[in-house]
Structures are given as C-alpha cells and as structure tokens.
Amino acid sequence: MTLKRIIPLALAASVFITAEAKENPLIRISTDGTEMIMTVADNGNLVHNYYGKKFKNALPYQTKKYREQPDNGAGFAPQAFPAYGGYVTISPALKLVHSDGSHTTHLKYVSHSVTQLQDDVTRTEITLNDPLYDVDLTLTFDAYGKENVITQSATLTNKEEGRLTVENLASTYLPLHADSYYLTHFHGVWATEMQLVEEQLQPGIKSVESKRGVQATQTANPAFLLSLNGPAREDHGDVYGGALAWSGNYKLTFEQDECGRMNVVGGINDFASTYYLDNGQSLTTPDMVWTFSDKGRGQVSRNLHDWIRNHSLAHPDMERPVVLNSWEGAYMNFDEKTITDMIDDAAKIGVEMFVLDDGWFGNGEYARNTDHAGLGDWQVNTEKLPRGIDYLAKHAVKNGLKFGIWIEPEMVNPKSRLAEAHPEWIVKSGDRDRLQIRQQWILDLTNPEVQDFIVKTFDDVLALSSDISYIKWDANRFVTDFGSEHLPSDRQSHFWIDYTKGLYSVYDRIRESHPDVMIQLCSSGGARLDMGALKYHDEFWTSDNTNSLDRIRIQNSTNLFYPAMATASHVSTSPNHQTGMMAPLKYRFDVAMSGRLGLELQPKHLNEKEWEFAKNAIANYKKIRPIVQFGDLYRLKNPEDGSGWASHQYVSKDGKQSVFFAYSMKYHGRTTFFQTRLKGLDPDKQYRITEINKAGWPSFYGDGQVFPGDYLMNEGISLNGGNNFDSTVLHIEEI
C-alpha cells in the first residue's frame, strides 16, 4: 500500500491567460458545491469577491461595478492577498522590507493559469508582482471537487538585486461580511487537548497561535470553524472550516475591521521568524485547508474527513488494526517475559498489533529505565531484552500479531552518548544554558546532519527486525530559548521555519524509503496534530489522557476536523492513571470503539468477566470497524451543550450500515430519558437494530427489531439509562 499523492498529470489541459490576452479576468476556483471568486480591478489589484456556495447562474462580475465589489466603504475592494502598503491597514498577509529599506509593497495581477492535477482536482496559480520592486508572489489554489475543499498557499520570489526581508508571509487571506461571526477554536495542555471554545468575535483582533515550535498543538490547534450570523449548528447555516497544514509556529488572526468585515489571515507565525531571501531565492508557505458548507458544521467535518482520507493520510484504504500498546500496562519496567506475556494475552483477546513503547533502548549508565537517560541512543537495551527486538517481533508474528515500536528521534537526554558526541546538534541560544523539559533537549533539525541522523535512526530501528510494521513517533517537549549552531548569527530567525521544513524533509525521505510502514503521530498525546504532519502518518495519539469521560470531549473536538480512522483511542485501566477516575469497562470500550480501538493496559490484570467482555467487544469492533473508519460521521448530541449526553453515528458510504454511540456524562435523574433522531439513513428503507457490547440488561427497547428509516429519522429512538457512565452502541443494518 502506498501513500496517495497528487501527481500533476502531464496530459491534463492547461490554460494560460495573461493580462494582455484578456482584460479584467474573472477567476473562479470551484468545487462541486462551493466556489471562490476573484477579479482584477482596473488598477490591477487582485480583488477577493466571494467564497461560499457555488453560483448556479452567470455572474455579473465582468462589469466594473460588480467586479470591484464588495467595496469596503473607503473606496476599495479587499485584495486577495493584502500586502502592507497603499490603503492596507489591517493585519497584512505579506509584510516585506525591500533591499532599499522600503516597507511597502503593492501587488498587481500579472497572470494566472489553470491545470488539471487529477480528474477531480484543479490547480489555479495566480502571479502578482510589485511594479516598483522586483518581487513575485504566486498564489496556488487546489480545488478538490467532491470533497468541497480548497487549499491555498503562497510562494514569494525575490528578484531584487539585494536581500529581501520577509517579516510576514501568510498562506491565506479571506474577507467575509456578515452580521456576526462565531469562532470555534481550541485550547488545552498536556492530557487536556482540544478543549472547545465558541465565541462571538467582536471588533478588533482575535488570534490563535503557537510559539512552541515543537508541540505546536498542545495548547491550541490551527484548525477552526467560523460560523456566520449565529453559533455553528450541526445541520444548518453557513460554516467555514479552516486548518493550517503546518507543524510549527502558526498564527490565525480574525480581525473585524471598521467596516464590519471579518479579515482572516492564517499562516506561519511571524513571531521571531524574519526570513531573508537573497536574489533568486523563494519561500513557499504551507497550505491552508478550507472548506465551506451552508448546511452546518456536520458537513464541514464530513468534507474534511473525506479530504484527509482521500488526499492527506497514509494508507487510507487500509483498515486500522486493534492495538495493544505497552505504555500504561508496563511503562519502562519490563523484561522480555513481560512483553512476550503481553503479546500472548493480546493474541488471545483478539488484538492485531502489539506496540512496544518507551524503555527498550540505551545501555549501561544511559539505560532508558526512567525518563532521565537514553534518548538519542537507539540501541536495544541488552539487559532488558537480551534476544533483541527481532525476538519480540517474531514472537508477535508467530502469534498472528503485527509488531510496532516507539521512538522519539528528535530528542536527546543530556545523559546519553549522543549528547556527549554531538553537543553542536542540540538547540541552543548563544551562550545560554539549555533548559530541560522532561529531562531532555531538542536536536536542531535545521541542520542537515541532524536530518541525516534522524533518517538513519529510523532506518536502523526498522532494521532491528524485518517484522516491524509500525512506528510510534513521539516528541515530548517544546522549544525554549531557540537557537542553532548551524545557522549563521544573522539567520537565527530562520530557526522556526527551517526546523519544520527540516522535519518535513525527514518525513519525505522516510516515506520514500519506507512507504509501507504504519506510523503513528504522537507528541505527549495530541501536541502535534495538524494536517501538515498527518499526511505522512497513518494515525495520531489523541491524548495521554485515556480517561473515557474526558476522551468523549477530546475526541469530539478532534473529530470536528480529523477522521475517526486516524484517532487512536485506547481502553486503559480503572482507576485511570491520569485522572484517578473509575469507569466501567463497557463505558471505556464504548468510547474507544468510536475511533481506532486499542488497549493501553496490562491484560493479565483483567479478571475473568472483564476478559470475556473485552474479547467480545474487540470482536464486535471488527464487525463495525469499516463503518467507523470509512463511514460518514453524524453528530447527534453535542458533549459541549450541557445536556450531559454525547451521541453520534457513523454511516457507511453506501448507506446500508450504521453504528450509533451514546454516552451519559452525568446523572440525569430518574424521570428524564435520552431521545434522539438518527441521521444519514434512507427514509424508504428498513433497518434492523442490534445492541452490541451489552453488559447486564439491554439499554435499547427495540434490540433486534426492524424499524423504517423515516421513523428512525423523524421520531427517533430513546434509551433506557441516564446514570453516570451509561452508554449504548447500536449496530444498524439495512434489511
């Protein structure tokens, strides 16, 4: 299985339109249901006219009056990519200092071209330049027809004689006009990622950003929803979804200006990131991923899930296996027998992949027995594992499981042979002592030697056994006191951008030589969850918080953008190691089965009854797995709305199968009960509903019965239950 990539088709038609050939071009960037419209004003400005639902009829934009609308009241329409200069006083998408010291840039339309990249994917490139200063800016828009996604990036090229100073180069700018704007964004910290906030934006600037470099998404995520004229609803209303595909510092600004317009600028954070381009050099931004729906945020999620699965995820057609990860079950305290016993148990209970987590490497004084030593020394700990990784991997394969292993290749403990051998490879700000977080430092990925080391680490770890088919790639701290011994003193501000580009170069090389290996994206949980990194990976570790009640919220927010098939979701022990909360095994399974199911516990600690439940639940998961992993998500009850219920459904693409989940998140009293309408079914078909993962009495009155689709979608279903930790999973099949 290989990664799906976009390969420009040489045979595809290419249209090239120049300003001379056609005056005032109208540029329509269209998907099946949406479009973005830009025109060229008489003064040469590229005007952003529209992004929203696709128009059915011919457009009036060819006439000047409409072309230069919407006017902002100050006599000019919003530019498609506002550079600081002229009348631009909002936060600009571009801010340059030219080689003669001038701080202003006026961009004018030069040309655009349209290329068919794939049957359903069209690329529009628009070139602008400044008539006074020789800088070119190319805006690239890729329109994905059936997913209704448009990605945008920008490439700046310095053609001036001297050095060009780039103070800010965003990926995207979007002007919108409505009566009110509601932003859904996310905050958090370790084990509390993706905490949802929805707020009405007010005049002024709201920004969502990261300055951590690594772990850029631990405290906020570069994905958001912007709803017009009211809070985002599930199935109604105009909602934009945006996500920056960048695994470093980012900044999203939402500026409501004096005209009531919302100006959205998104891209790499300009914080301490001044970038210098010599003559002939270019800088390309990451993609901003956009989607729009006039039918609420549910459709926004489905668009993004489809786009990620079709274009931005490794092995999108492969069912993700059920995993047992050793971390919470063994931590670093294991020997060979601990692991082979876990593998034996995993095989008996139905697990398909065993992952050996942290603690298997480093020797002697640098053995990785705690987090104080060993990172960087990626040799097998011969005391713990005398027969090496190959013995364990073969043991797994012999028992019918695949085998995976944990690495954290960007990091180094001061107590390691690597730190002693290559102090110049470690991030450092001048003469300042390096700060430690989790007893570790960060390798300087701006340095090609470090990039080579990481690629070699990956190769060497895979070479430990031909039976390793999965890597968990972790990154457990963020950048403090940035600086690089590799970069010249007048280029230290290139650190943030070059680190992330270095990381992507490493990912590219690894994927080139190891296209088949599964890779999990992990950073102390969900601290590196963005569409830039995700495309190299098969899945992500959502959070180190495995407490089911917390996971309902974390997964719900995560799955607003990122699909369930990539959402690693593990059943752990009770009381939970992070929160101390106790929850029934059924509840823990019912929550984990809504993503990519796994276990994060010592199986031998399960009692007989729990063992049987777990085995049965894993078998059930395998039945519903294609619906969860490849189906459409419909949210029914929102865990954020205060009702104390969370509920959602997945529906298979052919509409014939669905799986329904409901979780009680508080005690609801004796007299209230859960009722909801189902979604995504065919009103004219009949469906059999079977409750799975039953523990004790059934919670659905109609277990095993057949219901008409229109009944289920209009009257709906009710459930027997409302205590803390009640939960229900229903398998719905067309008959």
Which residues are known to be catalytic?
474, 544
**DSSP string of 218-267, one letter each residue:** SSB-SEEEEEESSS--SSSB-EEEEEE--SS-EEEEEEE-TTSEEEEEEE
Task: Compare residues 80 and 468 and give the one whose CB is closer to ligand GLA.
Answer: 468
Instruction: Assess contact for 589 and 693: CB atoms under 8 A.
Output: yes
In whole angstroms, how close is the CB of 454 to ligand GLA at the nearest point? Answer: 17
Contact stretch for ligand GLA (CB under 6 A) within 48-56, 511-519, 520-528, 708-716: 520-528
Helix (H, G, I), strand (E, B), or coil: what is residue 339?
Answer: helix
In whole angstroms, how close is the CB of 474 to ligand GLA at the nearest point? Answer: 5
Asked if residue 525 binds ligand GLA (CB under 6 A), the reply is: yes
Residue 339 CA to its chain's centroid (Å): 32
Asked if residue 224 binds ligand GLA (CB under 6 A), the reply is: no
In whole angstroms, how close is the CB of 292 to ligand GLA at the nearest point? Answer: 34
- Amino acid identity of residue 129, one-letter, is N
Distance CA 32, CA 523 (A): 36
In whole angstroms, how close is the CB of 25 to ligand GLA at the nearest point? Answer: 50
User: Beta-carbon neighbour count of residue 703 at 10 Å?
Assistant: 15
Q: Which residue is nearest to ligand GLA (CB)?
A: 358
Asked if residue 193 binds ligand GLA (CB under 6 A), the reply is: no
Distances (CA, A) of 204 to 31, 211, 261, 262: 32, 21, 11, 10
Asked if residue 270 binds ligand GLA (CB under 6 A), the reply is: no
- Phi, psi values for residue 500, rounded to 5°: -70, -40
Asked if residue 522 binds ligand GLA (CB under 6 A), the reply is: yes
Asked if residue 544 binds ligand GLA (CB under 6 A), the reply is: yes
- Amino acid identity of residue 120, one-letter, is D
Task: Compare residues 306 and 358 and give the one whose CB is closer to ligand GLA.
Answer: 358
Question: Which of 290, 327, 334, 700 forms a contact with ligand GLA (CB under 6 A)?
Answer: 327
Contact stretch for ligand GLA (CB under 6 A) within 62-70, 339-347, 493-501, 519-527: 519-527
Site string for ligand GLA, 476-495 (x = CB under 6 A): x-------------------
Task: Compare residues 84 and 406 and give the one whose CB is closer to ligand GLA.
Answer: 406
In whole angstroms, how close is the CB of 370 to ligand GLA at the nearest point? Answer: 10
Contact stretch for ligand GLA (CB under 6 A) within 217-225, 271-279, 482-490, 518-526: 518-526
User: Beta-carbon neighbour count of residue 317 at 10 Å?
Assistant: 10
Contact stretch for ligand GLA (CB under 6 A) within 239-247, 517-525, 549-557, 652-660: 517-525
Task: Compare residues 307 and 327 and give the one whose CB is closer to ligand GLA.
Answer: 327
Task: Looking at residues 330 to 369 of the shown chain, list those that interact with ligand GLA (rule: CB under 6 A).
Answer: 357-358
Distance CA 525, CA 540 (A): 8
Asked if residue 627 binds ligand GLA (CB under 6 A), the reply is: no
Distance CA 267, CA 168 (A): 9
Asked if residue 410 binds ligand GLA (CB under 6 A), the reply is: no
Pinpoint the alpha helices (H) of 602-714.
608-630, 709-714
Residue 124: name the closest of 27, 35, 51 by CA. Answer: 27
Question: Which of 524, 576, 647, 699 forms a contact with ligand GLA (CB under 6 A)?
Answer: 524
Distance CA 118, CA 35 (A): 18
Distances (CA, A) of 420 to 15, 414, 425, 445: 57, 8, 10, 18
In whole angstroms, how close is the CB of 527 to ligand GLA at the nearest point? Answer: 8
In whole angstroms, how close is the CB of 399 to ligand GLA at the nearest point? Answer: 23
Instruction: Assess contact for 219 and 187: CB atoms under 8 A.
Output: yes
Query: Where along the sequence are the contacts to ligand GLA (CB under 6 A)?
Result: 327, 357-358, 406, 474, 476, 522, 524-525, 541, 544
